[in-house]
Structure 1
Amino acid sequence: MARTTPFSSHELIPQEERLLIQKSKSSLFIGVPKENIKNEKRICLTPESVHTLASYGHRILIESGAGEASNYSDLEYSKAGAEITKDTKKVFACPMIVKVVPPTFEEIEWMVPGSCLWSTIQIKSRCKAYFEALSNKKITALAFDFMKDKNGSLPAVHALSEIAGTSSVLIAAELMTSLKNGKGLLFGNITGVPPTEVVIIGAGIVAEFAARTAIGLGANVKVFDNSIEKLKRLQNNLPYRIFTSTIQEKLLQKALMRCDVAIGAIRGKHRSPIVVSEAMVDHMKKGAIIMDVCIDTGGCFETSEITTHENPIIVKSGVIHYGVPNITSRYSKTASMSISNIITPFIIDFAESGTLEQAITYESIIRSGIYVYKGLITHKSVADWYDLEYKDIGLFMF
């Protein structure tokens, strides 16, 4: 009598063994140079982050004085496990470079071919030659401001936007004092005194935190944006309901004529749209403050100009204009801690992947930030903006 079996004849044939392929961890050698751009006081890695990375077995080489502008001493970094050097070229010779602003052409020359760069991209202030220089060195470059999480949000941009929104109100409060050629008003709501009137153009993260801060000081806040969804989100996130409206010229003009502070926080796909014309600024109160937080992408006030931390304001039509693009650098230690908290886990994940190829395959957040992969432009917005050849990074995944 034939024996029965629960297996088919195919299943009884010996099969090839399938082994679980695990990602092998890698040890990183990270260089953190001192920023040589004027007014850039931030640093990407705090001593606490260096200690964390060192505990994972990574080696960190920091240029002497790199953290001084953020009130971090060489001694703090040394105690955290970093090596300190005064040789800038030695730092840029590390296989991985982590810095805030993109490197200069001279710094790119110091970098080792095939190395990895982590920084912001500041795409509007770059030029075609910058990307060509990275390509010639076969460098892989990752931008913090391109990195997207699983929800599609930009963690680094979100964090810095919180600081920019909050600081815009605090700086405006300072500019309103008599010592800063303002009208001598206290930002807020004092018994018997009309509250400060604030107009915010835009309803994104910057606008939300500007509104939160202004409300906390007792100001009356009005927000304008053409996205109803953004206005709804803003209303739901604030402690109580405020005036919101789509951007309608008559309504906006009326609000601007009465306001003490106007904050520009709206961005477009390539350039911030000019929402407030010169004629509208002419009708604003003398001594009013314009904080154009989106000046780095062109600004949404027609009268705005880029200014510096040394000379932060200009006066047009009797209205004080503040147009410093890297506003978060004013609060360098807070900004440094925020950036460091965001990127340190990503660096650890990158190392845990084992290789660059595995990182772009398994780590979608890291993959989303790469705009140059081994010399090839892999971010479409960069390729389109500077008329460069584009390669889909998905082609290099396995």
Structure 2
Amino acid sequence: MIYKSQKKNQFVVSELMLKTDKHKVTTVIGVPKENQETEKRVPITPEGVSLLVSAGYRVMFQKGAGLTINYSDSYYAESGAEIVDTAKEVFQADIILKIMPPTLEEVEIMRPRTSVYSFLYLHNLSRTLLEHMMEKRINALSYELINDDTGASPFVTAISEIEGASSITLAAEMLSNANGGKGILLGGIPGITPAEVVIIGAGVAGIMAARVAIAMGASVKIFDNDIIKLRAIRHELGNPVYTSTLQPKVLRNVFRSADVVIGALQYINKIHFYRISSDLISEMKEGAIIIDLRMEQGGCFETTMEACLPGHPSIFEKYGVLHFCEMSLSSRVARTSSIALSNIFVSMFNAMGDSGGIDHFARFDRGFASGFYTYSGKMVNSYVASHFNLPVSDIGLYLQGF
């Protein structure tokens, strides 16, 4: 066998013998309109559509889907997308690109063996929905579960960068009098102590939040139980940042003085779960702010977990502490987020075309294959399977030559 090696492109691992002419690709990609009251992001921009169409794909785009990022239907049409009126038309495509996971109603109108890509959002899934997807042999892929050569998800990395940076600008707004805060300037001025920002989680979002907070002059403290991450963040940001493991006594003292606490722990595919107890939050000073960046994964705090329940407000006060629990902070900067996602999709679909389609791509790129949680009528991801108490199979059994 002769293999094409392109290490610089984390998505391209393809066999030369299977390489096809991009212009012969006949795959249809459908982009439906999301519930725009709760989700503003769009998975592909007009520029991305143009690149996919030039690579041979057909792109069906539901009317009005791009308005939340200020792109008109005519802009998408000029880029080569086929604008359709209804979701039912879009869901006849071979691949459905979404932000939110599919609903039971959407699965009903999909063709059997359709592939649907979305974020995971476990609280939006159900055993009934998953069983129906498996009955129709729907291939469901989660962006959070895809891995690149480093073992990280490129989608999670991009969104975490955006949300980490956005969390600090949001905190600065919420501390102001205009938004019901205590009237504190995040960075302070000479003679006045700056606000104290505590970040739980030293991943990509935590690093970005710390960098922006330090740049604005805030006092920053970061907690994580991964010493390697703490060491890396200290080397990257230098002495201005305080780092510590998740020691209960240390956390209690820090929470008592914190003005802003940001939850940035990752829970996808993790064995151990750390959530901050309501006891610590009850001891925070009145007017402090909590921003939870992991609501789509169940929340980082006991007090924010309840915001995952239907009908619960995303911004509320408890123990005198203002909680911000929107499901996706990156949806507040939807255009930037959509461009970031679109860039990744174009790279991924170009690599997929080189490989000869989804099945061939999954066969030779294990990081991509790991993104599926249902495939060929089976549950193939242990993390999702354990959450819903479903039997799990190895996806390699259904990918010849895996």
TM-score in same-fold range (> 0.5) = yes
Q: Given that residues 146 and 368 in structure 1 are in contact (C-alpha distance below 8 angstroms), is that contact kept between their aligned partners in structure 2? A: yes
Tell me, yes or no, if structure 1 residue 369 matches structure 2 residue 347.
no
Structure 2 stretches of 5 or more lacking a match?
1-15
Name the structure 2 match of 1:379.
Answer: 381
- State the shift of 1:365 in Å: 3.1
Q: Given that residues 18 and 355 in structure 2 are in contact (C-alpha distance below 8 angstroms), is that contact kept between their aligned partners in structure 1? A: no
Relative to structure 2, which stretch is displaced further, 147-156 or 255-264?
255-264
Q: What SS does the corresponding residue of 1:391 show, helix, strand or coil?
A: coil
Name the structure 1 match of 2:101.
Answer: 102
Residues 287-326 of structure 1 mapped to structure 2, 5 A cutoff: 287-304=287-304, 305-306=306-307, 312-326=314-328
Residue 231 of structure 1 aligns with an amino acid whose one-letter code is L
Equivalent-residue separation in structure 1 for 2:379 and 2:36 (angstroms): 25
Residue 70 of structure 1 aligns with an amino acid whose one-letter code is I
Equivalent-residue separation in structure 2 for 1:394 and 1:75 (angstroms): 42
Q: What SS does the corresponding residue of 1:336 show, helix, strand or coil?
A: helix
Name the structure 2 match of 1:22.
Answer: 18
- State the shift of 1:178 in Å: 0.7
Q: Given that residues 122 and 297 in structure 2 are in contact (C-alpha distance below 8 angstroms), is that contact kept between their aligned partners in structure 1? A: no
Tell me, yes or no, if structure 1 residue 245 matches structure 2 residue 247.
no
CA offsets 1:77-106 (integer angstroms, 9 cap, x no match): 011111111122111111111111111111
Equivalent-residue separation in structure 1 for 2:291 and 2:117 (angstroms): 30
Q: What SS does the corresponding residue of 2:217 show, helix, strand or coil?
A: coil
Structure 1 residues 298 and 273: alpha-carbon distance in aligned structure 2, compared to 1, 3 A threshold = farther
> Normalising by structure 1, what TM-score?
0.89
Relative to structure 2, which stretch is displaced further, 384-393 or 326-335?
384-393
Structure 1 residues 219 and 55: alpha-carbon distance in aligned structure 2, compared to 1, 3 A threshold = same
Tell me, yes or no, if structure 1 residue 256 matches structure 2 residue 255.
yes
Tell me, yes or no, if structure 1 residue 397 matches structure 2 residue 400.
yes
Equivalent-residue separation in structure 1 for 2:94 and 2:154 (angstroms): 25
CA offsets 1:227-264 (integer angstroms, 9 cap, x no match): 21110111122254421111222222221221211112
- State the shift of 1:56 in Å: 0.9
Name the structure 2 match of 1:354.
Answer: 356
Residue 266 of structure 1 aligns with an amino acid whose one-letter code is L
- State the shift of 1:182 in Å: 0.6
Structure 1 residues 95 and 155: alpha-carbon distance in aligned structure 2, compared to 1, 3 A threshold = same
Name the structure 2 match of 1:15.
Answer: none
CA offsets 1:265-309 (integer angstroms, 9 cap, x no match): 22343785222x333223322111111222333333333342799
Tell me, yes or no, if structure 1 residue 328 matches structure 2 residue 330.
yes
Residue 33 of structure 1 aligns with an amino acid whose one-letter code is P
Residue 24 of structure 1 aligns with an amino acid whose one-letter code is T
> Normalising by structure 2, what TM-score?
0.88
Q: What SS does the corresponding residue of 1:106 show, helix, strand or coil?
A: helix
Structure 1 stretches of 5 or more lacking a match?
1-19
Q: What SS does the corresponding residue of 2:188 show, helix, strand or coil?
A: coil
Equivalent-residue separation in structure 2 for 1:140 and 1:259 (angstroms): 45
Q: What SS does the corresponding residue of 1:159 show, helix, strand or coil?
A: helix
Name the structure 1 match of 2:92.
Answer: 93
Q: Given that residues 271 and 298 in structure 1 are in contact (C-alpha distance below 8 angstroms), is that contact kept between their aligned partners in structure 2? A: no
Name the structure 2 match of 1:283.
Answer: 283
- State the shift of 1:48 in Å: 0.7
Equivalent-residue separation in structure 1 for 2:83 and 2:334 (angstroms): 21
Name the structure 2 match of 1:84.
Answer: 83
Structure 1 residues 114 and 55: alpha-carbon distance in aligned structure 2, compared to 1, 3 A threshold = same
Q: Given that residues 198 and 260 in structure 2 are in contact (C-alpha distance below 8 angstroms), is that contact kept between their aligned partners in structure 1? A: yes
Q: What SS does the corresponding residue of 1:203 show, helix, strand or coil?
A: coil
Larger Rg: 1
Name the structure 2 match of 1:59.
Answer: 58
Give the share of equivalent positions with the same residue, in percent.
Answer: 40
Residue 320 of structure 1 aligns with an amino acid whose one-letter code is L
Q: Given that residues 62 and 85 in structure 1 are in contact (C-alpha distance below 8 angstroms), is that contact kept between their aligned partners in structure 2? A: yes
Name the structure 2 match of 1:274.
Answer: 275
Equivalent-residue separation in structure 2 for 1:184 and 1:47 (angstroms): 41
Structure 1 residues 263 and 54: alpha-carbon distance in aligned structure 2, compared to 1, 3 A threshold = same
